[in-house]
Structure 1
Amino acid sequence: MKTNSLYFAFGRPFSPLYSLAMHLRASLYRRGTLRSYRFEVPVISVGNLTLGGTGKTPMVQYLARLLQEHGFRPAIVSRGYGGTANDRVNLVSDGATLLLDVRTAGDEPRLLAETLPGVPVLTGIVRRLPARRALEMGADVLVLDDGFQHLQIVRDIDLVLFNTDRLAGNSRVFPGGDLREPVAALRRATGFVMTGVHAANRERAERFAELLRSKFPGIPVAFAGLRMEGLVGLAPSGMIAPVATEPLRQQPCFGFCGIAHPELFRQTLADHGFSLAGFLPLADHQRYNESLVSSLLAESLKAGAQWLLTTEKDLVKLAGQVAHLPLPLHGLRMQVTTDADFSRGILDVLHSWRSSN
């Protein structure tokens, strides 16, 4: 946080320039100077206004499962941040077979592919191209992962997520703050979602929701929490598989993660009663090389840990090394929880789209 504060302080004079550039870009799309593409199926975008994590990946998982349960055939389209794949269309999964490893696909697309059987996952910098391929594969709904700033694709549901413990950061636009665009960009949204809501921060979430409602009337605000589904491990095949949680909960473990806000994961482990012998926060989208893994193991053994615990996203990145680790390695699987109105609202829009097209 101190590093970010220092960086933002130096970047503050440039914020108005970046803010103006983003405003002009949005204006060019709105006027049709820059082309936006509409597809013959409904499009749901899951994104955010702020830098860093707001829980987009768990929300994409939640929506894909919701759609499957109600008879839709969703496909996920992502930029593939952090992956080495550079084709115009990269097929991470066709819904039945995993086709790209985590280093090639990127950690989040690979995680989505592993945890969403039956859902194709595609990546590409120009996302209309993998979107078109997904339609050719039979998808009848497209879910854009991290799509709020990707204005080249017209969306029917445009969700903007806010991390309840972070909200809008310092409310300044990058590079002087946490915002990717000026606050006025939120007028494009069709819904706001407060994520990571629990009893201790519920009041904070409700206050911010009221602020959003006052500034953007007519755009609904939903609340989403996370619940622990259980622990998962890596099978010999490299695939994620559930493991028994209770036998491990009281054994001292060493936690680590490479996500935007690692302290939130540490708090999650404490809240769910895991016995932490130590914890190592890493950079977002951290890549695990031999040196880092050796250092992590040295710290965990020194702390007296009997096993290693990380996020599910980090777990998939260690598939090639798990067989050589001297300690068992597991990931914590979390699931989004929302109220019924949120799910009903998503489905109502899609059913309305079907009936009018």
Structure 2
Amino acid sequence: MSQKFSSLYFFGRPFSPLYSGIMKIRESLYLRGIKRRYTFDVPVISVGNLTMGGTGKTPVVGMLASLLFKRGFKPAIISRGYGGGADSRVNVVSDGKETFLDAKAAGDEPCFLASSLPGVPVLTGIVRALPCRHAIEKLGCNVLILDDGFQHMSVRRDLDLVLFSAAKLAGNSRVFPGGDLREPVSALKRCHAFMITGITEVLQERAEKFAELLQRRFPGKPVFFTSYQAIGATSLKERQDQEISTLPSPLFGFCGIAQPELFKETLTKNGISPAGFMPLKDHQPFTPSLIKKIEHQAEQCNARGLITTEKDLVKLAPDSFQLPCFGLKMKVKAEPEFETFLKEILPDTLLN
């Protein structure tokens, strides 16, 4: 945890019980049927988290969509579209064949998912029931995946998957604004399974102990592990894939994700020792002045190119930089047991 957030959480700690109480009341209103919950005739999978910030939801959503699509299902991804300017009740980022909205309109994560998942529609909307209905009735989808859906209780789900980052776990275990949690730990009673993301050799033992704690506290809810694997890089200008070994060296790294230090570690683990690195805030927009600053710092480090995340790459124009720029392509690797678990949730009658 950064010194900045540590200080903010310290001063916010007295207000945590108030916020926690509000979230418990909100949960109760939904579970008692006082606040409306929408039910659909197709399976709904929610991928969310209890903590603030990055747990790897977007890569897991992409992994799920790809897995379901390859098995013959017709999945659609439904997102809030955070950071996007599109404000229609239903925003079709992609219908699975054509992408209609860029990152500025759709938000960086929906745009990234749309560009990396051919055949899978991606939709956004504040009232998520509306894009859910559109995906079913207009696009013929038979499985819905809610991106960041754990707190979005107005849509009933068949699988509530809660993610924890292996690097962060539950943070300081206090509810916002005194800590990292969006809701009290008791909210985890309503989920069906847990997933601990970003497993490495260094974090394996820590993650296993946390998994044991979850299973003791919430018996009957399985815990799955996933790791990230770099599978190449995509050039910004040509949008072509290439092997990591063919990239120019040295490279200057930058990214705007919740845990930028993890991206820097990933670069090093994959043989890329950046000449310099610039962490940005999550969902950082790339203004002309910021782009100029990034390239200037890269030149100061004598870098021959730039490297960032795929999520950041979709927000950049092909001619943003004079130096060549690349996005590191990552793949989520899940345990075989997770796919078996998923098969139990989804009926084969939905297959084409």
Which TM class, normalised by the smaller chain length? over 0.9
Q: Distance in 1 between matches of 2:6 and 2:281?
A: 16
1:234 CA drift (Å)? 3.0
Distance 1:232 1:307 in 2: 13
Q: CA RMSD, aligned part only?
A: 1.3
Q: CA deviation at 1:352?
A: 7.0
Q: Would you say how many aligned residue pairs link Structure 1 and Structure 2? A: 349
Q: Name the residue aligned to 1:345.
A: 341
Q: Is the 8 A contact 1:257 1:314 kept in 2?
A: yes
Q: Does 1:248 align with 2:247?
A: yes
Q: Residue 258 of structure 1 contacts residue 282 of structure 1 at CA under 8 Å; is this kept in 2?
A: yes
The residue identity in structure 2 corresponding to 1:334 is M
Q: In the alignment, is the contact (CA less than 8 A) between 1:42 and 1:353 conserved in 2?
A: no
Could you list the per-position Cα deviations for residues 22-58 of structure 1 after superposition, in whole angstroms to 9, with x for gaps in the alignment? 0000001110001111100000000000000000000
8 Å contact 1:131–1:142 — kept in the other structure?
A: yes
Partner of 1:148: 150
Alignment of 1:85-100 (within 5 A): 85-100=86-101
Q: How does 1:1-357 map to 2 (within 5 A)?
A: 1-136=2-137, 137-236=139-238, 240-248=239-247, 251-318=249-316, 320=317, 322-351=318-347
User: 1-side partners of 2:121 and 2:41: how far apart?
Assistant: 18
Deviations 1:213-265 (A, max 9, x none): 000000000000001111012355xxx4312321226x100000000010010
Question: Which stretch shows the higher mean deviation, 213-222 or 270-279?
Answer: 270-279
> What is the letter of the counterpart of residue 303 of structure 2?
A
Structure 2: how far apart are the matches of 1:15 and 1:118? 43
Amino acid in structure 2 at the alignment position of 1:295 = K
Per-residue CA deviation, residues 109-164 of structure 1 (Å, 9 max, x unaligned), is 00000000011000000000000000011000000000000000000011000001
The percentage of counterpart residues that share the same residue type is 55
Is residue 93–residue 99 contact of structure 1 (8 Å, CA) maintained in 2?
Answer: yes
Cα distance in 1 for partners of 2:240, 2:343 equals: 30
Q: SS state of the match for residue 104, structure 1?
A: helix
C-alpha distance 180-83 of structure 1, shift in aligned 2 (>3 A): same
Shift of 1:181: 0.2
| Partners of 2:229 and 2:349 in 1: CA distance | 31
Query: Structure 2 regions of 5+ residues with no counterpart?
Result: none
The alignment's TM-score, normalised by the length of structure 2, stands at: 0.97
Find the residue that maps to 1:323 and give its secondary structure.
coil
